[in-house]
Amino acid sequence: MPPSSNPLFTRDRLPEGVTPATGTDPERFGAYRVVGRIGAGGMGAVYAGITDDGGTAAVKVVHSQFAADPEFRARFAREVGLVSRVRATCAPAFLGADTEAATPWMATEYVPGPTLRQHVKRNGPLTGGMLTAFAVGLAEALTAIHAAGVVHRDLKPGNVILSPDGPKVLDFGIARAADGTVLTATGGLHGTPGWVSPEQYEGADATGYSDMFAWGGMVALAATGRDPFGKGAVDGIIHRSRYEEPDLDGVPDHLSSLVRRSLSKDPDDRPRADEALTELTRGWSATRIIPAGTPPLDGVGATGTDALPTEIVPEILATEWTGISAPAVRRVRRPARTALLSGTAVVLVAVFIGGWLFVRSDEGPPPSNGEGSEEAGNGGGEGTSLLIESEPEDGTGVVEQAVDLVERAESFEAVHVTTGIPPADYSEVHRYTEDPEPRYSFSGYGGPMTLEWLEVGEDPVDTIYQVIPSYSTIEASEGYFRDSEYGRNLGERQGRNGFMADLVTLAEEGTELVYHGEQQVPAGDEPEIEGLDTDTSGRTGHHYSGTFVESGYLGPDDETEREVSFSLWVGDDGYPLRFERLAVNGEAEEIPEELRDPGDAPPVDAAGQKVFFLRFDEPVEIEVPDESEIEDRG
């Protein structure tokens, strides 16, 4: 990729949602030096890569266990071949690949910007020329994808980035060839409820007309700010998309007919992508007022019928696509060695080891070029169809879907309990709500103090803290306060889904899970927390178990490994109900001598954690203090 005078990222300055590379990440793929991680999924990871001359890329890499599988390697090579054939203004450019490398990889253009869902949440629906340009851009991308013999199969709000140059359709690399070859999975229904066409639920293969059903829904969402078949329980969304009319109130007249035809239950009544593109570009050209003396477009009059629709798309975007800028980059703070602490702070570090260092930083759902969730940059992942209903034995797929459902839940409450770490068990309460605005609250109980913090806003730049000591040696805060230095001393913030770290690990690493069928969820040992109903008795879920290896849990420079055994229960709605883990290794669990106080309890042989998922998408109240009640410490 040619260098840019204003690169999208560098080694030391990365966009929000891209985490810095660590010592465990690869150093290079071909011409691309790895400087950050964009996201990961069950099949592979996506890295931020930069060339020696400053070119940037999103580099998709296959996990090692799949790279050793000749069949999967062949499917990945076929995916690369399909992606390389797509040439579109509104699809990421293919930059290169090596499918014969020890670790196969593919590089595509890195696309900066929010997803459609994020933009609509923050700014409201698209209007006027921006909406027209959005509809045109999606149709142009699908036209090119279909012309290359590919069916997308998973067009959704998380797979479209609103970049400064126009909308960009991602993840057509995880689609399938028109000849029916599945590239990244086998069996089952692929797609996201609400965007999957009705005929697919009846067993029909996905086609270009299925993609156009999703196109109509996407344009409706962009125009109205509402999903065309609503939100809520998955089965309700599926029923409405199969049997009820879409909500198109607010779609402007010049788009409503085309959108309605695209959302027809009968695929034969839907337009092809190239037909929709022709209709849109002709409509735009017919209404444009061209000043006298304006030179023709590529030798063809811009408003004339001789211009190809694909030739008009760049002009539409240059004229109508405004107000979108690339996300700002931030200076990378690379982890320093753990400082030695003394006195009462030693006890606090012991609690952090038990409760927090297992948790990964999360500034939003992890984005990717093909796996993951919505985020600025090459994001994706609005959700998937429910394997828990059709293929519950696919434990990895079920976990991936459970993580995705939690990531996009409009509200939740969960309790995360850590046991076996001296001096006491430790509980964390996590609450989130999007109504009336995004709010996330964390409260940590046990050990030397209760620590609370609030994050307010879609992408908060600061956090409000409160400290309630258990011991007189720890200073209390008179109320909530802001202090950026205090937050840095705590380490990286957990974010709204910190309690999901282990499930994310299972999904990312493709951990094998053993399925035990439907069983009663263990109950009776939930922590008693004032003001919170933690009773989960009487619930039944699909039970899974397995093991994974965990390393580096005592600090950024720790290389200790231990085996973790786990059990997971997932409800019929795809949401997790309960997660338990037990790590057994006396030497690994022993807190390093320099971090121990002589009065601490002796080392333990095992440490456990349990997450009780209490509720999703139900009203959650999170009170935020008035600004006058918050002390600003800098």
H helix runs in 510-608, sequence order: 586-589
Phi, psi of 193 (to 5 degrees): -50, 135
Q: How far apart are CA 53 and CA 335, in angstroms?
A: 27
Cα(148)–Cα(138) distance, integer angstroms: 16
Collapsing DSSP to helix, strand or coil, 583 comes out as strand
End-to-end CA distance of the chain: 42
Q: Which residue out of 25, 53, 154, 535 is catalytically annotated?
A: 154
Residues 6+ apart with CB under 8 A from 339: none
Tokens matching residue 194: 């609400």
Nearest to 486 by CA among 452, 460, 445: 452
**Nearest Cα residue to 261 out of 249, 248, 225:** 248
Residues 6+ apart with CB under 8 A from 119: 126, 162, 324
Q: How far apart are CA 452 and CA 468, in angstroms?
A: 8
- CA dist., res. 506 & res. 403, Å (int): 10
Residue 33 identity (one-letter amino acid): R
d(CA 184, CA 173): 9
Contacts of 99 (CB under 8 A, 6+ apart): 73, 76, 77, 80, 106
Query: What is the 3-class SS of 247-286, one letter each residue?
Result: CCCCCCHHHHHHHHHHCCCCHHHCCCHHHHHHHHHHHHHH
Contact 219, 141 (CB under 8 A): no
308 token code pair: 């190809």
- Quick check: helix, strand or coil at residue 373? coil
Peptide bond into 436 cis (omega under 30): yes
- What sign does the CA torsion over 241, 211, 122, 224 have? negative
Residue 626 is a catalytic residue:
no
Q: How far apart are CA 239 and CA 230, in angstroms?
A: 11
SS3 511: coil
Q: Is 298 in a helix, a strand, or coil?
A: coil
Cα(79)–Cα(183) distance, integer angstroms:
6
Contact assessment for residue 273 and residue 139, using Cβ atoms and an 8 Å cutoff: yes
- Cα separation of 103 and 97, whole Å? 11
Residues forming a β-bridge with 455: 440
What is the H or E stretch that residue 596 is in?
none
The partner residues of 443 in beta bridges, in order of sequence, read 429, 452
C-alpha span between 316 and 312 (Å, rounded): 6
Catalytic residues: 154
